[in-house]
C-alpha cells in the first residue's frame, strides 16, 4: 500500500501568512485578544509607557502573551521560551515575529512579579461575571523552592554542627600536640595538613556561629541561604524546602478563584486570609468554603464568620459540630438581616444569630466565666539566674530551665532545647531530637517511646523552670515552690462575658472537598509539570504562581465554554 500523503516539496515557493498557519480555534487567539484589552499602565507594569529617548524596548503586552502561552503549555524556562519564539508558529504569530532573548524574557517576569496577580484576577472576573461559581474549596500544597536542603538550617541543626566542628577542632589540636612531641613519628597527616584542616574547621565554625546569632537575634525558626523566604516542609516524598500555596477552587467551575502564597509549614489559620478577597468581590453575599482537618482552628473559623464566610471544616471523628466562643460586646442597634461584615461581627459578639447563619449556628448564648489575668512581665522580671553557667548549674540539679532572653531551655544533661512551636493555649514547646539520641538520661526522660522518640517540654510564658519527673527527690519540692510561688501568688481572676455557640458544617458539601481541591493541584503538577518554582522570594513566587494559575484556568475555561464562548468572555 502507498503512503497516505506525498510530502510537500520543501523548496517550492508558496504564498502563506502567519495568520493562515494558526488554527481558527487556537487558544493563542484567546490569549492575544485578552492581553490586548488589558490596561497594563494602570496595573503598574514596567515599561508599559514607551519613552521617546533611549533604545526601544519590547512591548510588555507581547512578553505577557508569551508567558501566558508558555505556562499553559508547560514551558516555564526563559531560555525555552526564547527558543519557542523562533520555532513555534503560534508564538511567532502572537509576537509578530519578535525574538526577544532569554534575559529580556526573564527580566520581564522578575520585574513585574507583583503585578501578575492582578492580571490573573482580571481573567477570573471576566470569565465568571455571569456564572454561578457556588461555594469554594480551600486547600494547600507544597511547591519546591530554589533552595537545597543542605542550604537550609534549623537552629537545632546548627547547634549540632557547631558541636561536631568543635569536637573536630579539639581533635586536630590534640593531633598537632602529638606531632610536636614526636617529631620523627610517621603519620598520615603532617603538621601542615593539620593546620590547614584546623583553619578550615574554624572558618566553618565561625560561619555557623554567625548563622546562629542571626537566628537568635531575629527569632527565626529556620534559615534558608538561597531563598530566604522558603521553609523546610514535610510532604509525601519526605522533607523539602518549599512554599505552601493555598488555593480557593470554585465548586461549579473548578476554576482557581484566588490563591495565597505562604511559607507557613501547616495550614492552620489560612482559611480566612485565602477567602478574604473572594468575600470582598462577592457583592455583599455570604461565601461558603469547605476545607480539610488541617484548618481546624477556632480563631480562624470565628474570623471567617465575622467576615461573611461560612467555614465547612471537616469534623474530627465522633463530632457533629464545633464549639466556639467569642468575647461578648454589647451593641445598641443590631441588623441581623444584613450581610455586611461589620454587622455580622456585631451580631455574633452580641449573642444574636444573623439571618444568613440560621442554618449553621446553634445554641448561641451569653455566659459569664472566670478567666485568669496573666502578667506579661512576670517571667523576665523574676529571672533569678544571670549567666549561662548559672542556668546550666541549676539545670544540673534536675530542672529544665528556660532562658527567656534567648528563648531556649537547658535540660538536666546540660543540653540545649530549642523552640519547636507555640501551642494553641499559648505555651511554647521546646525540643532537640539531635541531642536526645545520645543523651545518658534518655531512657528515663523519654517515657512514651512509642509516641515520641525525644523529649518535648512545654513552658507557659510565666514559667521559668520545671522539675524533671525522673530525678531522685532527695531534695523536696520546696525549691520548685520557691521558684514558682511568687508567680502563683500574683495570679488573679476576673469575670468575663462570653458568647458561646455551635457551628454545624454541611456534611454534603464537605464530601465534595477532595474532588475540588485536589484536581487543580494534580493538573498543575502532573499535566503541566509545575512541581517547583524558578524564582526566589515570596513576592516573586507569588507572581509565578499567578502565571501557573492562569495557565490552568485557561485550559479549564476552554473545556467549559469552548473557543467561541471563552473568546466572548475575555473580549466582553
Indicate whether 476 pLDDT > 80: no
What is the predicted pLDDT for the residue at 299?
Answer: 93
Sorted by sequence, the CB contacts under 8 Å of residue 56 that are 6+ apart come out as 50
Asked if 228 and 530 touch (Cβ cutoff 8 Å), the reply is no
The pLDDT of residue 2 is 73
Q: What pLDDT is recorded for position 377? A: 40
Of the two residues 387 and 458, the one the predictor is more confident about is 458
Confidence (pLDDT) at 489? 46
Instruction: From residue 241, give the alpha-carbon distance in Å to each of 369, 535, 540.
Output: 45, 14, 16
Number of neighbouring beta carbons within 10 Å of residue 393: 14
What are the E-state strand segments in 424-531? 428-431, 456-459, 465-467, 492-503
Q: Which of 58-67, 74-83, 141-150, 378-387 has the lowest mean pLDDT?
A: 378-387
Alpha-carbon span 445 to 448, nearest angstrom:
9
Query: CA–CA separation, 262 vs 246, rounded Å?
Result: 7
What pLDDT, on the 0 to 100 scale, is given for residue 378? 40
Angle at 148 between CA 142 and CA 150, to 5 degrees: 125
Asked if residue 224 lies in contact with residue 157, where contact means CB atoms within 8 angstroms, the answer is no
- pLDDT surpasses 60 at 481: no
- How does residue 473 score in pLDDT terms, banded at 50, 70 and 90? very low
Kindly state the helix (H) or strand (E) to which residue 311 belongs, with its residue range. strand 309-313
Question: What are the angstrom distances between the C-alpha of 23 and each of 28, 61, 88, 97, 144?
Answer: 9, 21, 13, 17, 36
Tell me: pLDDT of 425 over 80: no
For residue 438 the three cell numbers come to 545520645
| Closest by Cα among 551, 539, 531 to 66 | 551
Residue with cell 444568613: 356
Task: Determine the Cα–Cα distance for residues 251 and 270; give it in Å rounded to an integer.
Answer: 19
Burial group, residue 44, by CB count within 10 angstroms (0-12, 13-18, 19+):
exposed
| pLDDT digits 0-9 by tens, 23-71 | 999 999 999 999 999 999 999 998 888 777 878 889 999 999 999 999 9
* pLDDT single digits (tens) 85-137: 999 999 999 999 999 999 999 999 999 999 999 999 999 999 999 999 999 99
pLDDT class of 185 with cuts at 50, 70, 90 = low
**CB of 416 closer than 8 Å to CB of 443:** no
pTM, rounded to two decimals: 0.86
User: What are the sequence ranges of the domains in the chain?
Assistant: 18-132+551-571, 136-142+236-365+502-535, 149-224, 378-469+479-490
**C-alpha cell read off for 557:** 475555561
Tell how strand 309-313 and strand 287-291 pair up: parallel
Amino acid at each position: 500500500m502507498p503512503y497516505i500523503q506525498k510530502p510537500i516539496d520543501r523548496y517550492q515557493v508558496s504564498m502563506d501568512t502567519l495568520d493562515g498557519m494558526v488554527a481558527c480555534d487556537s487558544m493563542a487567539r484567546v490569549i492575544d485578544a485578552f492581553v490586548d484589552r488589558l490596561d497594563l499602565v494602570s496595573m503598574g507594569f514596567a515599561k508599559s509607557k514607551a519613552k521617546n529617548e533611549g533604545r526601544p524596548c519590547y512591548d510588555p503586552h507581547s512578553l505577557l502573551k508569551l508567558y501566558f502561552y508558555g505556562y499553559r503549555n508547560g514551558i516555564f524556562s526563559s531560555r525555552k521560551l526564547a527558543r519557542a519564539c523562533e520555532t513555534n508558529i503560534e508564538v511567532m504569530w502572537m509576537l509578530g515575529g519578535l525574538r526577544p532573548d532569554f534575559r529580556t524574557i526573564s527580566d520581564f517576569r522578575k520585574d513585574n512579579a507583583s503585578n501578575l496577580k492582578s492580571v490573573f484576577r482580571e481573567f477570573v472576573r471576566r470569565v465568571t461575571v455571569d456564572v454561578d461559581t457556588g461555594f469554594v474549596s480551600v486547600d494547600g500544597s507544597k511547591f519546591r523552592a530554589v533552595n537545597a536542603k543542605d542550604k537550609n538550617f534549623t537552629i537545632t541543626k546548627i547547634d549540632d554542627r557547631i558541636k561536631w566542628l568543635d569536637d573536630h577542632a579539639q581533635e586536630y589540636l590534640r593531633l598537632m600536640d602529638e606531632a610536636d612531641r614526636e617529631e620523627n613519628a610517621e603519620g598520615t597527616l603532617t603538621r601542615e595538613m593539620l593546620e590547614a584542616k584546623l583553619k578550615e574547621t574554624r572558618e566553618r565554625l565561625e560561619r555557623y556561629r554567625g548563622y546562629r546569632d542571626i537566628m537568635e537575634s531575629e527569632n527565626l525558626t529556620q534559615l534558608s541561604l538561597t531563598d530566604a523566604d522558603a521553609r523546610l516542609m514535610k510532604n509525601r516524598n519526605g522533607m523539602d524546602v518549599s512554599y505552601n500555596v493555598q488555593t480557593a477552587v470554585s465548586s461549579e467551575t473548578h476554576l482557581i478563584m484566588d490563591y495565597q502564597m505562604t511559607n507557613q509549614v501547616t495550614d492552620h489559620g489560612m482559611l480566612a486570609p485565602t477567602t478574604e478577597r473572594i468575600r470582598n468581590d462577592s457583592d455583599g453575599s455570604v461565601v461558603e468554603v469547605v476545607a480539610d482537618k488541617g484548618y481546624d482552628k477556632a480563631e480562624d473559623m470565628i474570623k471567617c464568620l465575622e467576615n461573611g464566610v461560612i467555614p465547612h471544616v471537616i469534623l474530627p471523628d465522633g463530632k457533629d459540630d464545633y464549639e466556639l466562643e467569642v468575647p461578648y460586646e454589647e451593641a445598641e442597634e443590631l441588623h441581623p438581616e444584613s450581610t455586611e461584615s461589620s454587622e455580622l461581627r456585631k451580631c455574633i459578639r452580641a449573642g444574636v444569630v444573623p439571618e444568613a447563619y440560621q442554618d449553621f449556628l446553634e445554641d448561641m448564648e451569653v455566659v459569664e466565666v472566670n478567666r485568669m489575668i496573666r502578667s506579661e512581665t512576670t517571667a523576665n522580671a523574676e529571672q533569678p539566674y544571670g549567666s549561662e553557667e548559672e542556668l546550666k548549674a541549676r539545670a544540673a540539679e534536675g530542672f529544665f530551665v528556660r532562658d527567656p532572653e534567648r528563648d531556649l531551655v537547658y535540660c538536666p544533661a546540660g543540653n540545649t532545647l530549642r523552640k519547636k512551636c507555640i501551642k494553641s493555649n499559648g505555651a511554647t514547646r521546646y525540643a532537640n531530637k539531635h541531642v536526645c539520641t545520645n543523651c545518658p538520661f534518655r531512657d528515663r526522660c523519654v517515657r512514651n517511646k512509642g509516641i515520641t522518640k525525644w523529649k518535648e517540654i512545654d513552658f507557659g510564658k510565666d514559667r521559668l523552670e520545671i522539675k524533671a519527673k525522673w530525678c531522685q527527690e532527695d531534695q523536696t519540692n520546696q525549691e520548685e515552690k520557691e521558684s514558682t510561688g511568687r508567680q502563683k501568688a500574683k495570679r488573679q481572676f476576673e469575670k468575663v462575658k462570653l458568647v458561646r455557640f455551635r457551628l454545624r458544617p454541611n456534611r454534603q458539601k464537605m464530601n465534595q472537598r477532595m474532588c475540588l481541591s485536589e484536581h487543580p493541584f494534580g493538573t498543575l503538577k502532573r499535566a503541566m509539570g509545575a512541581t517547583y518554582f524558578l524564582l526566589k522570594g515570596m513576592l516573586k513566587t507569588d507572581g509565578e504562581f499567578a502565571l501557573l494559575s492562569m495557565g490552568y484556568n485557561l485550559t479549564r475555561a476552554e473545556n467549559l465554554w469552548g473557543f467561541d464562548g471563552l473568546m466572548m468572555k475575555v473580549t466582553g
